[in-house]
Amino acid sequence: MDPKNAFIITLIILLTIPDALICRVFAEGVTFDEAKQLRDEVSEMFYHAFNGYMDHAFPRDELKPLSCEGEDTLGGYALTLIDSLDTLALLGDKDRFTSSVEWISKNLRFDINKTVSLFETTIRILGGLLSAHLIASDYSMGMRIPSYDDELLHLAEDLARRLLPAFDTPTGIPYGSVNLLHGVDENESKITSTAGGGTLTLEFGVLSRLTNDPIFEQVTKNAVRGIWARRSKLNLVGAHIDVFTGEWTQKDAGIGTSIDSFYEYLLKAYILFGDEEYLYIFQEAYGAAMHYLFHDPWYVEVNMNSAALVWPLFNSLQAFWPGLQVLAGDIDPAIRTHTAFFSVWKRYGFTPEGFNLASFSVQHGQKSYPLRPELIESTYWLYKATRDPRYLDVGRDIVSSLQYGARCTCGYCHILDVEFHKQEDHMESFFLAETVKYLWLLFDLAAGPDNLVENGPYKYIFSTEGHLLPMTPRISLAREHCSYFGAYCKNSNFRPTYISNDGHHTNSSSRFQRGVGSTSYVTQYGFRKSTTSMSGIIKGLCPGLTHEQMYGLSYVASPDMLPQEEPTTDHVENGGGQSQSMVVLSDSA
């Protein structure tokens, strides 16, 4: 047959076969046996990097995998080991997990004169300690250490108290850095990122529930409120903000760099803690992002006030978004966006930090790939939701790229330039905390899962650093013991209402209504949250208020709108410097 005719016939066949059939034909490359082999290969990847760190870098923070040396990049306290603890547990390596926990318990101290990033220290160190504590102290997870006596929890609490001075600002939005011995330096920058100030709720909230001290959860929730109160009228937030004045210093709104995990923790905090305030903010923020930032299948950056296009750019941190959409139940756009993002990986073998959507080329100055996990994370969540074998093919391609392009003498190297695959002598701790973790979970799920996430006694939320936070009763049912909702109520009109199990809240202006005795609640994007275990009583709500007022989410009020002190209510300072009426009532009231 003439080659030209053969090509035409093939093209006609491809255009007439249903998409689902094409997907099945081209995506069934990974067999059951190969999935097991890939899972084992990923496990070997982890140990190549972990052993390289332990042999050549420990107890310094991170490994230089080309020169086989260590370097301190955060605080000089064995960062990579702490970040790797729950991955060791996930892989079922009880001996390494136990010896690592014991070393950390005996040797780690935070009374050091080091100025550290609040964000990075929280997600990597605090999150790593809390996750490992929950695993090491719970028999039902299969990794209980008999001699363990809450040492990691005590370290986590000590660290968090050293981070608290960062939150001492007029807005409640924290400084970006804090000294672990002396607090915030007088010359510390007052500018922080939205992600830096709004991605602390999971770790601090879990710590509050484990220590019965509400201060940790309160300060991080106030930080979220402080950011959200300064959103634009389009419900968009910018990238950087002055923590003293509340003025936005960078007004670019997007889902990537400097903002990404702000969205992530809104939904995850609701799922983990059952706090509807986070769900409400997420709904509003997500709806605005899909309206103003989504140019199907890509996302762009716009001015937060006008929605004018600022950057037609895909940056690699955006790749977490399809995974978040899976949790929100918005699967179709997640599939399309993931396909687009993976096309960039296929083009270069890695995703560059920036890819220009106007020129369809690597953005100048953003050519590196620092072993980021976000695309792999979304691949795992989409496979978990759809069981579509195409995502196993994606995982296999990613493994191949890492093995042939990033593997080096003692670990895995940053890729300095994705076009030429030039290696750089650095390995971030998140490679072990996230990148290989999500790859291993992907293939283990396909091979017949045998791990504590899929088969264990709890459901888990993954932190933005990939740390496992189990939805134990102590963490997720804390509101059984105390229900409190803030409200901007004028005290002359304030009358707390008490609603029984068979009642409904009377506010008709809310975007979603909750039947107080209902068993579940569905967002407009399909996410379902069971509320069966909640007490079913909402107490202390002001009648007739909008949802924004009820939860204190209005724009920062002028002084004449502030409530006056009243002896029957407690007053706490919120992130915007306003006095917020709060009714605190136990369930026995």
Annotated active-site positions, please?
120, 260, 353, 374
Containing 377, the helix (H) or strand (E) segment is helix 374-386
Residues 491/564, Cβ–Cβ less than 8 Å: yes
The full DSSP string for 80-100 is HHHHHHHHHHHTT-HHHHHHH
Task: Tell me the C-alpha distance between 91 and 452, whole Å.
Answer: 9
Alpha helices in 310-362 (DSSP H): 321-328, 331-348
Q: How many CB atoms lie under 10 A from the CB of residue 332?
A: 8
Residues 63/70, Cβ–Cβ less than 8 Å: yes
For the chain, the straight-line distance linking the first and the last C-alpha, in angstroms and rounded, comes to: 85
Residues 6+ apart with CB under 8 A from 333: 290, 294, 296, 297, 325
Note the residue count of the chain: 589
Over 130-143, what HEC string results? Answer: HHHHHHHCCHHHCC
SS3 21: helix
AA letter at 66: L
> How many whole angstroms from its chain centre is CA 285?
15
Residues 313/352, Cβ–Cβ less than 8 Å: no
The full DSSP string for 278-318 is HHHHHHHHHHHHHHHTEETTEE-EEETTT--EEE-EEEGGG
Q: How many CB atoms lie under 10 A from the CB of residue 507?
A: 16
Burial 432-466 (b: 16+ CB within 10 A, else e): bbbbbbbbbbbbbbbbeeebbbeebebebbbbbbb
127: nearest Cα among 479, 460, 559: 460
For residue 33, CA distances in Å to 38, 39, 448 come to 9, 10, 11
270: nearest Cα among 278, 262, 280: 278
Task: Tell me the C-alpha distance between 173 and 197, whole Å.
Answer: 6
Paired residues of 241 in beta bridges:
192, 248
